[in-house]
Structure 1
Amino acid sequence: MGTTDRFRRPAQHEDLLNELQGKEGPFRNLVEAMMFAAALGQRKNRREEFDKTGEPIRLALMDGRQYGDVLIDMLAAVKVQDDPKILADDRLDERVRIFEEYANGGLSYLRGELNTAPTRDLDVLVGNLVMEALTTPQDQDDEVGAIMSSADLDW
């Protein structure tokens, strides 16, 4: 398996990703929207495979984001706790796939919430999910949830 320099975004959620980022959305760009979705997917225990992809995003864009450079590693470390070698350089592709699948699961969860929530305002819905992560303890240690809740989000 060769080392990747990009991560995929699920084509089925392109419209939602576009709503989440930019002038009208709660996130400045697609990278931050995907980071939030991956952390949400992990928090809600939703990891979903996908085949159809939108335009891939350069992995280097994760560098420089608060927690961006470690989020992929932390998701993999939490998911594959019995295999510390998951963090080896030659297993980056596996870690990226875990990130992508959690992001897809998080986007699916968010889409479901949008379809049933009393408000269709993404800012409010994302804010509510972050507040839920801050105030709702989980049964197990949730390092990724802690990162999600302490991330520097520009509303």
Structure 2
Amino acid sequence: MLTRPAIKLTHRGATLLLAAAVEAAEAMGVPQCIAVVDDGCNLMGFIRMDGSRVLSVESATRKAMTAATTGRPTGGISPDKALLLAEATSGKMTNLLGGLPLIIDGHIVGGIGVGSGTSEQDLQVAQAAVAAFLKRMDEGQHS
């Protein structure tokens, strides 16, 4: 086989993820920086909520990119040689909690990264966003 089917994250999917993350962050009372990337680590959506830490802009984006690249949640990735090499050469990866991959039918379609709260708060916001995204997918609302 010379080609394979691909499932791609759309701007509507990125917008849904951002909205769900903002809703979760507001409910917690914790302003966040939220980044959504596609499977190629291209930024699809970003929001810096009022009151969030400006330095979290970069960490949220790196969390999203790391999750999309590795297909694993950030914060629990074992420090294997490949991850360390990628971090050293690209400077675009991180292993802080708050990054989750977006996986549909076994295909990594992107990642979300959240930063500005505690590590646990960042992860909770990311989890809420991914749960809303997967619920919409399960409901058959793919567009």
Same fold (TM over 0.5): no
What TM-score, normalized by structure 1, do the two folds share?
A: 0.31
What TM-score, normalized by structure 2, do the two folds share?
A: 0.33
1 or 2, which has the higher helix percentage?
1
1 or 2, which has the higher strand percentage?
2
